[in-house]
């Protein structure tokens, strides 16, 4: 029997929470490498890991796209992206050391000859860098290319170990994973034709944020909160992901997606499952993901007839954001002048289990709103006896616990306190924790954590196939209703507002209001 904490061969097994774990040697193959995601997110995150000493010496990146870069030209292209966003902290010597690990291969995934050339280049780079066959494929391509790319990897014999290229094979797939239930299931079948489920890492960058990971620690490592985390003490929960920007040149993509597909199906459902799930039996990936699946299955399905009662869609009109006049969504590039795509959505869900029975969860997201923020706001029930009702304080404000995801990363608790003076007067005050103040640093970029986990083989922060399936199933009645009549439940709001006025009624008819930061 192997010693605890070691593999049968005696090699130490990295454990969750182990500081500074370095993954085994590997080659990261990025398809669509000339795109914005690689330049702005992936390579800067890898460079950060390199500077922290979290990448193995035997590591390399191989970029693949149709752009005719040489190795040096590709490195210069990536350097410009990192140096431009470093705000004067760019370290040229560190970059020079890291850039030697970056390679490029021009190619078209639709061309069989390109696949052969790719296989040869993978072997050449692996041999040069001393990498024993471990490959991570990253699909940074448009969703319509996911299936052709996966098939090409399989046809090229790259999806499984070979005699000259032993080691693991993993594939990271960007969102969106499908655009409805049927397409998600079809994509899953196509992926499973080539890879096993344990080789597939569906990336949701929100799960890589420290503040999202901290939700489970906050809940289950602190004895003072978990006893209150139920229907007896919590009135309702609001989950908000708001942006003050528009579609930022992505009008063609957004016209096909809308915020329900782009945000609620993945980001907001993941936040909901983290805040409402039951405690897992361990921190193992499947134990945590099992509880998330159980929670999502407990969400009460909404019938197509009730969609209009529990959901408000919106689209931004022209308005003012941060003192600047901005155009309406319909005036954005690559957007139809008569578009009925939603840029805002607010949905009320309930969870049919003993912990949350009767507690509404309000999910809200949108573009061109009054500010940029992502938060989970838990409103507690008011004190049962208004002892101070006849004092100068008047009606007391209920307690709020707010988990700030971004931009200010932290947690704050709103409670009542006596103001100084001879009279009893209660005012709401805030107890605040921020990552920057407490730990002296801002949290690591989300993509860095997720890339590191993919190389380590830790799938905890990657949604499983059944999670994706349930998420789309919950949204199917909404998408069916809007497909039949795209203008249903759609209202307009001026850019810079916090959504359409009709969204207020979603809460006001139950005596509640949206929290405005």
Catalytic residues: 267
Task: Report residue 202 as tokens.
Answer: 């569906």
CA distance 232 to 359: 9
Going by C-beta distance under 8 Å and a sequence separation of 6 or more, which residues neighbour residue 32?
38, 64, 65, 139, 140, 141, 142, 145
Cβ atoms of residues 492 and 342 within 8 Å: no
The rounded distance, in Å, linking the Cα atoms of 481 and 505 is 20
User: Cβ neighbours of residue 223 under 8 Å, at least 6 residues apart?
Assistant: none
How far is residue 64 from each of residues 2, 103, 104, measured CA to CA in Å? 40, 9, 6
Task: Using alpha carbons, list the distances in angstroms from residue 324 to 248, 321, 368.
Answer: 15, 5, 12
Sign of the torsion angle spanned by Cα atoms 399, 403, 407, 408: positive
CA distance 245 to 326: 10
Task: Tell me how far apart the alpha carbons of residues 264 and 441 are, in angstroms, rounded to a whole number.
Answer: 30
Q: CA geometry: angle at 325 spanning 504 and 253, to 5°?
A: 75
- Apex 15 CA angle, 435 and 139, nearest 5: 75
CA end-to-end distance (rounded Å), the chain = 56
Query: Distances in Å between the alpha carbon of 79 and those of 46, 52, 63, 450?
Result: 12, 18, 14, 22
Give the three-state DSSP class for 328: coil
With beta carbons less than 8 A apart as the criterion, state whether 431 and 258 touch: no
Q: Quick check: 41 and 447 in contact, CB under 8 A?
A: yes
Contact 74, 477 (CB under 8 A): no
Compute the residue count for the chain.
Answer: 517
Region of 416 on the Ramachandran plot (φ > 0 left; ψ -120 to 50 alpha; else beta): beta
Look up residue 284 and give its DSSP letter: S
Q: Is the peptide bond before 507 cis (omega within 30 degrees of 0)?
A: no
Residue 163 tokens, joined? 């005699």
* Beta carbons of 435 and 409 less than 8 angstroms apart: yes
């Amino acid at each position: 029997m192997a010693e605890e904490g070691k593999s049968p061969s005696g090699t130490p097994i990295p454990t969750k929470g182990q500081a500074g774990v370095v993954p085994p040697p590997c080659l990261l193959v990025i398809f669509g490498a000339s795109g914005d995601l690689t330049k702005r997110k992936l390579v800067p995150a890898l460079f950060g890991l390199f500077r922290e000493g979290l990448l193995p010496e035997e590591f390399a990146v191989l970029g693949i796209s149709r752009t005719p870069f040489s190795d040096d030209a590709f490195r210069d292209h990536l350097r410009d992206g990192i140096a431009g966003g470093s705000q004067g902290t760019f370290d040229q010597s560190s970059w020079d050391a890291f850039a030697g690990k970056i390679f490029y291969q021009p190619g078209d995934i639709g061309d069989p000859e390109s696949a052969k050339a790719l296989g040869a280049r993978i072997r050449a780079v692996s041999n040069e860098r001393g990498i024993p066959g471990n490959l991570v494929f990253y699909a940074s391509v448009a969703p319509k290319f996911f299936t052709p790319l996966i098939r090409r990897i399989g046809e090229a014999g790259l999806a499984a170990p070979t005699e000259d290229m032993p080691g693991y094979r993993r594939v990271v797939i960007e969102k969106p994973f499908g655009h409805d239930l049927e397409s998600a299931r079809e994509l899953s079948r196509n992926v499973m034709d080539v890879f096993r489920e344990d080789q597939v890492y569906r990336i949701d960058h929100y799960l890589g944020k420290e503040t999202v990971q901290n939700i489970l620690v906050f809940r289950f490592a602190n004895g003072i909160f978990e006893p209150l985390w139920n229907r007896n003490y919590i009135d309702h929960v609001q989950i908000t992901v708001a942006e003050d920007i528009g579609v930022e040149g992505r009008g063609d993509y957004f016209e096909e997606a809308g915020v329900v597909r782009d945000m609620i199906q993945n980001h907001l459902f993941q936040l909901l499952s983290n805040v409402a799930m039951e405690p897992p039996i361990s921190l193992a990936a499947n134990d945590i993901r099992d509880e998330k699946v159980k929670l999502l299955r407990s969400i009460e399905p909404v019938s197509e007839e009730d969609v209009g009662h529990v959901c408000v869609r919106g689209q931004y009109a022209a308005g003012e954001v941060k003192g600047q006049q901005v155009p309406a969504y319909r005036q954005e590039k690559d957007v139809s002048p008569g578009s009925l795509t939603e840029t805002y959505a607010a949905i009320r869900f309930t969870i049919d289990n003993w912990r949350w029975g009767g507690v509404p969860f309000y999910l809200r997201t949108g573009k061109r709103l009054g500010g940029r923020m992502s938060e989970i706001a838990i409103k507690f029930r008011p004190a049962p006896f208004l002892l101070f009702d006849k004092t100068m304080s008047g009606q007391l404000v209920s307690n709020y616990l707010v988990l700030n995801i971004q931009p200010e990363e932290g947690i704050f608790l709103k409670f009542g306190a006596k103001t100084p003076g001879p009279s009893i007067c209660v005012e709401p005050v805030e107890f605040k924790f921020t990552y920057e103040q407490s730990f002296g640093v801002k949290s690591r970029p989300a993509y860095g954590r997720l890339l590191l986990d993919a190389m380590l083989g830790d799938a905890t922060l990657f949604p499983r196939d059944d999670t994706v399936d349930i998420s789309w199933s919950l949204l199917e009645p909404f998408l069916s209703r809007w497909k039949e009549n795209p203008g249903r439940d759609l209202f307009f709001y001026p850019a810079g507002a916090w959504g359409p006025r009709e969204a207020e009624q979603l809460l006001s008819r139950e005596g509640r209001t949206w929290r405005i930061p």
